Structure formats: C-alpha cells, structure tokens
Structure 1
Amino acid sequence: MLQLQTIREHKEEIILALGKRNIDAETLLNNVLLLDEKRRTTQTQLDNVLAESNTLSKEIGVLYKTGKAQEATVLKERTVNLKEESKQLGEDLNTAAEELQSLLYQIPNAPHISVRKGSSEEDNEEVFKEGKIPTLEATALPHWELAKKYDIIDFELGVKIAGAGFPVYKGKGARLQRALINYFLDKNTEAGYTEIQVPHLVNELSGYGTGQLPDKEGQMYHVTEDDLYLIPTAEVPVTNIFRDVILNESDFPVTYTGYTPCFRREAGSYGAHVRGLNRLHQFDKVEIVRVEHPTKSYEALDDMVEHVKGILRDLKLPYRILRLCGGDLGFTAALTFDFEVFSTAQDRWLEISSISNFETYQANRLKLRFKDENGKSQLAHTLNGSSLALPRVLAGILENYQTPDGIRVPEVLVPYCGFDLIN
C-alpha cells in the first residue's frame, strides 16, 4: 500500500509511474487526498471537542466544590451536547478512515524507474539468456505423454480424487519431486536462508498484509466456515511473520526459505499451453523471502536473481530472464524478474520463477518497521522469489532430458533421488 505522505508529496510522479501500468490514477489519487483531508479535519474537530469537554468537566468540579451548583448545571448541559457531537464526529472519522483505506487498497504499487510501459507479457523485456537448447529425437513427447508412458504422474487419477489440476505423482515421479524440493531447500540454506515451516492456511489479515486481498480474492480457496484461505504461495505466511513487528537495523538482512504446497483457483482455460503440469490448482514450491533495509533491497534483488541462475545452471536447463513491463507487473510489485525454462518438446518458454521487490508496499500494509540509527521508525523493504516452483521445472526436465532409452535425471539430483534414469 502506498504511503499517504508519499502520495501527498509525490502525486505527479506516482501518476506517471502508474501510467506504466496503463492506469490513469489522477482521479483516484485526488479522491484519496480529499478523503485524507476530510479525515484530518474531522480528527481536529474531534480533538477540539474532547479538549473542551475535558476542560468543562474540570470547571464543573470546581463549581460544585465552591457552591455554585446552578452554574455547574449550565455547563453540564453543554457537556451533554459535546458528548453527542463527539460521538457523531467519531463515527464520521471511522467512516472516513474506512473509505480512505478502501481507496488505498485499490492503488497498485508504483513501478520502479527501470520498468517500461507495456500492456501484456508480449511487452516484457528479455535481459538474459543462458543454456543450450537440446536437439530431441523426432519422436520426442511432451511431458504429459512422458508421464503416462513411464507411469510417473497420473493426471486422470487426480481428476477422480479432486478434479482437474490436482495431479498424482507416482513411483520415480514422486521421488524426483521430493528430490527437487530437498535440493532447492539445500541450495537456499547453503546461501544463508533460514529454513522455516509455516501454516498452509492463513487468516484474512495475512491476506491483506501481503496484498493477496482484496486484489486476488477470486483466485484463492476460501474455507468459509473458519474464514481461512489456502495459501497461493509461501510468501504469504512467511512475510506475515513480520506483521506488526519493529526490527533493528542490526537485524538486516532477514532471509527465509520454505517449502509449501500452493493452491490457486486460477487454472481454468483449455489448450496445450495449460496441459499437464503447465498450470495447476495445487503445486509444490520452494520460496525465498527477504526483509531488507531500503538502501540494500535492490542489491538483494540482484543477489536473488544470481542465486536462481546458479540453481538452473546446476540443473543444466536452458532459461531466460524477463524484466516485466508495467502491464504484466503484479499488483504489489515495484520490479519483477521472471525466469522461464525452455521446453523443447512443447517449443515454448515456461515461467518457473518470479523474483520481486515490493519496496515499502507490503511493509506499509504489514506495519513492518525498523528503528534507524537515530531511533526513528521507518518502513522496511520486502522481497520474495520462487526458488523454485516445481511443476514447470519438472516438465522442463522430463522433456529436455528425454532419450530413446528413457528420461535421464540431472546429475545434481541423482544423490537426492537415488536413480539416474526413468525408464
């Protein structure tokens, strides 16, 4: 959530920045400032009424003590009126504050200066590419056919149990899935991230804290009786650890990694681009989350990008990195780099990771602050990234590593799964 003070002081710059998202934010920001002025005026009026009421109460006490009961009675009538006035002003203040909060929730984060304007993923900017795309046999298959051929993932059984988008991993498929999770966690902890296990459901406050609510409410599974949400990513519970927390400068950097299943209702469309593991309602992901000093957050973002590069080099998968344009940027992000692995059998790029800096946007919602060297409270910066999302990584491995004899396992994963060939 953008800070009110920032909007007051930099309204024109924010309007220009949000223009990169193809949003004309001038009317919305003007309404925010009008409501904020109304809220502050009402607060001043309420403070004045309460101060007058407090002063009169003291005077009434003195008058009663000095035998001036008639004068005290006159003042008591005034305090009754002030009490009604303060009640109404309090209600007006709460209404203005709620309306203001609702408007602020509608404003996405202002993109970083390096983000260029664009309407869709077609306008994203490729900033890096690495790895050799393998040449496959003419008989090469997409991963959903390989999964069936080698009996390692059963999509139809998943439909029977839960519905489309809930695959069942079997045998070597399940072991390879577990190997990837353990490998990713080990790589992250070796890089200094503290492993953490978190709940797979969160409350409404947590959803608002990281920005999934109210923006992505329709994409989340809601347990209505308990008013809890199944997590769309570990980012939500891990980052909410720091809701209403005040850190010290010496606490930075805060770095966590965690594995969780992720649940998203967004699957839905049809075609080869969403077949098999390409888009799921439930999938596994290992996440990295950082809380950083504002002066260090973009250095941390670069470090996260380099870290994920190292993982993909170990897996020997061809990949590229995109800097997302304004139109494709997530609601809460200031800058995002997407990693995509090339699926040779599908002849297309598959997104496997998003690494984002949210600057103070989430921290403002979370009330996540730190004390600087002068003892002043400031908002921290939050970042997160997939390291990595498993379905499309697994799809890339199955398709790019297929041979006439079976599917080879990347060398780095062999110690984790205990075999080097799926046949």
Structure 2
Amino acid sequence: MKIRFVAGCAVLGLTAALSACSSSSDDPKSADGPQKVTMWMMKDSVTDDYVARFKKDFAATHENITLDVQVQEWDGIGEKITAALASNDAPDVIEVGNTQVAQYASSGGVKDLSEKKADLKGEDWLPGLAEPGRIDGKQFGIPWYAANRVVIYRKDHFAKAGIKAPPKTREEWTALTKKLNSGGNQGIYLPGQTWYTLAGFIWDEGGDLAVKEGESYKGTLDTPEALAGMEFYKELQALGKGPKDSDEAKPNLADVVSKGDVSQYIAVPGNVKLVEEANPGLKGKFGYFPAPGPSADKPGASFTGGSDLIIPEASRHQDAAYEVIKAFTGEKWQKDMAKTMSYVPNKTSFADALTGNEGLEAMAAAAANGRATPNSPEWAAVEATNPIKGYMTAVLTGKDPATEAKKASESITKTLRK
C-alpha cells in the first residue's frame, strides 16, 4: 500500500493552524459534555465480550467520553485507512498492523505521540512492536499486542530420543534435531521460503534485510552477516523434508504436522489447535520453546507481528482518543487481553499474565528479543513481490549464495527507492 496524503492542516504551514487542529476544546475533562470517540478495530482482533467489558469499565472511569468501536474487515482496509487519513472526518483511533505504521505515517496524516511515551512507560515496550511505530525518532504507533513464532515440538519424540530439555543454543538445536531424525520421523519441518524465520537468523548474526542509507533504504542480504544467517537456515532446513520452493502455506503447515512424523516445526502457538483438529490423537503431545540464538544468554531474534494504535491528525477528539489508547495499552486491559486472546502483552513487565500457558510463555520469551521489518513506507511493496523467497530457494537448490543474495538485495533496493 502506497500512501500519498497532504493533511488539511499541514498545507497551511502555520504552527497556529497545526495547534488548532488538535484543539484543546477536545480535553476529555471539558465541561462541554461527553465526547464521542470513534475507534476502528480489525475483525477478530479481540472478542465481542472483551470489547464489551472494556467499554463498561472505561465508561465508569471516563464519564465525559463515549466510545464507539467499529469493526473493520481486513479486505480493502489499506485503501479505507488511506482515505480516512486524507479526509476531514477521520475516526479518532485506528488499529493498524505494526509493520504498516511507516506507510501511514509517511502520509503526514498520523499524529506524533512521542510526548506520550513517558506517560505510557514506553521504555518497557516490546522492541518488535515499538520500533515499527517509531519513524525518524518520532513515535506514531502505540504498541497494542504481539504475536510471534516459536519452535513447536513433540514431547514424546523428544522423550524417545532421550532429550530431556529444549535446546538453548543453535549448536544444541542442530545436534538434537539430527538425533530426532530416526524411526521414520523428520527432525524438523522447515519449508524453504519461510523468510520470517530467516530474518531472525540474519538478525542474530548482526545483519538485516535492509538498512537506511541517506533518505532511503538499501537491501543488505549480501552482507557477510546476512549470508551467515542464510547458511544456518540451509543447515537446519536440510535436517527435514520441507519443500525448498514454497512456504508454510503450500502445503498447509497444520496438514503436514498432523500426519504425525514431524518432531519440530516453527509457527505461532495457536497453530497447534489446527493440528489437533486435524488429528485429535496428537492432543497434548506438543511443547514450545523460543528459537535458540548463537549463545545461551538469550533466545534467538524473532519477527514480532501484532498491532499498533494510531490517532489521525484529522481526529476531532485527540485528547479523548489518547485516553482510550492509554486504557487499552495499560496493565489491566493488556493482561486481560493476554488471557482472553492468547496474545503477548505490549510490555515485558506484563509477562506474568502468561504464567501457566507454555505456548504463550515461549512466545513472550521470544518477543523479548523481537524485531520487525525495515521501517520503510515501501516495504509492503517488497513483500508483494518478495525476492527474499526466490533467493532462499535458489540457495537451497545449490546456487551460489553470494551471487543470489546480491540479486535479491538489488531488487529490494530498487523497490524501496521508488
């Protein structure tokens, strides 16, 4: 999605005009009567019951604000948000994917909330959620919730192989995976184009998918660090029977695992429910751990997906909108959301809300070392053509890594500089 927008206030070019657009008359404590805050929330982000409980509690503590939550469909949401940001009648709060913040912020239609970071205790935000919402040092997106991939394993396979505990390092991980390749089982199922997993390995080595160079970004899959990450991916992928030319959707990951011969795979914990539905005989046989890093002192880096909350510049009730965001992202409703939706809260200090849920505990541990894709407004265009996938297949099928990485990096650079 490409965002091109000139804010109604911005064209005035005057500080006074900018101030007028975030009128102090929108103070939620104003005596002018209740303010109606409209929030766009994505379908299935949270349950209806969660929203109802939040609204009841919020109304009891914010008598001058009424909250109207409008559920949005994912299909076509980019265009709808773009139009809203360009209008004079935008909603007051919008839920957006964490990696989409840069696209919307580049329009000039999203309010800079940097001055609110201290009030929200933003120093404790998960990096993988906070970083995509921060562009050029300014915080446009406020982290709401996270979800990320972990290693899911068969406890019975581990026990049969004499493996008593999950690995803490890459070296331990590959060693036990080789050990699991027996009795007709595959030690790990890893499709050749699972590029989010590759990104974690690249970050572990100190590399990146792309880095900022001047006013734009440059693809960096051809750096020594990124190549080292690809080399580890190749080593691990070879320890299973995953296809080299497709991702986790083809064939469907849950369908593959439900056959019963996969000892490990990488996915969000919720994927286990799909596996168990396909094969009820596997219920209760899975465990979870964060992908190990090069050393045992911390888990490997992982891509952190999730949602941020933004306030449009065109919102007529910005102060009241902030009160809604503050409540949603505060301790009470973050912990409630974690238990209700099996999401990772936006702060590392809220991890105790996940106690007793093995999958969520593993996800939270991984999220503590979470990262996100490059903060470019054009990154969505990279994912649309995704030269990373083609690069991975080329390397896994025997082509020269350095040559293929250079091609992919050049493709990424060209897209990011459009």
TM-score under structure 2 length normalisation:
0.25
Structure with max Cα Rg: 1
Q: Which has the higher strand share?
A: 1
TM-score under structure 1 length normalisation:
0.25
